[in-house]
Amino acid sequence: MYKIMIIEDDSGLSAAIKKQLEVWGYEAVCVRNFQKVTEEFIEYDPHLVLVDIMLPFFNGYHWCSEIRKISNVPVIFISSASDNMNIVMAMNMGGDDFIPKPIDLGVMTAKIGAVLRRVYDMSGKIPVLEYKGAVLNLNDMSLLYNGKVLQLTKNDFKILQTLMESKGKVVSRETLMTKLWQIDCYVEENTLTVNVTRLRKKLETIGLKGFITTKVGVGYILE
């Protein structure tokens, strides 16, 4: 699920944008403190930023340049100041597109989708795996379920990715061990059991109890 940060001080507009994005399957958050945009950006780690030009304290150009110091995440400017000079300025400051106000939410959604596809989906592959409401983000190794996010270790991620790619089918222990430890030296089978047990406990913390089922003597399955 793509995460989008909205930097807009008009609370009504930002709420409308957030609602529209969520309807289309995106996760969205509105900036709360317009003096600490960079801190909120780092904490949220979005895939795309929507930023108004006219903001309290510092304008959108400033925050775009600050974001560009630490990230190449796509930035789309939104502003009622839609003259050519502002558009050129937005692009020169590192913006990827420009949406004039009053915003047409349909056009906005289309532009966001186009930018995300260009930046993250060049291979045509979907960057998430989904099963029964659980969404595995292939970009940052996180799992989203019922609004809760679980950060996964490398082994957690490989186990879930393998099981979700084969959802409804039993994945053998041998397959999982090969995915986790692609080495020639011997790895005890109990090591896999320990990893799966640890992952199950983590999944329970976000409400996914019983998500992984054991098929005794065979392997594991998501049922």
The 3-class SS string of 52-121 reads ECCCCCCCHHHHHHHHHCCCCCCEEEEECCCCHHHHHHHHHCCCCEEEECCCCHHHHHHHHHHHHHHHHC
Quick one: pLDDT at residue 187?
Answer: 59
CATH number of the domain to which 167 belongs: 1.10.10.10
Asked if 137 and 116 sit in the same domain, the reply is no
CA distance linking residue 161 with residue 58, whole number of Å = 42
Burial status of residue 182 (CB atoms within 10 A of its CB: 0-12, 13-18, 19 or more): exposed
pLDDT of residue 116: 86
pLDDT higher at 80 or 60: 60
- Statement to judge: residues 137 and 111 lie in one domain: no
Domain end, chosen from 60, 88, 120, is at: 120
| pLDDT confidence of residue 199 | 94
Q: How does pLDDT run across 192-220, given as a tens digit for each residue?
A: 899 999 999 999 999 999 999 999 888 99
The answer to whether residues 212 and 196 touch, using CB atoms and an 8 Å cutoff, is yes
Mean confidence (pLDDT) of the chain: 85
Over residues 41-54, the mean pLDDT reads: 90
Mean pLDDT of 49-62: 89
Instruction: State both tokens at 167.
Output: 């959802």
Q: Which range of residues forms the domain containing residue 90?
A: 3-120
DSSP 8-state assignment for residue 40? H
Average pLDDT rounded to a whole number, residues 66-73: 84
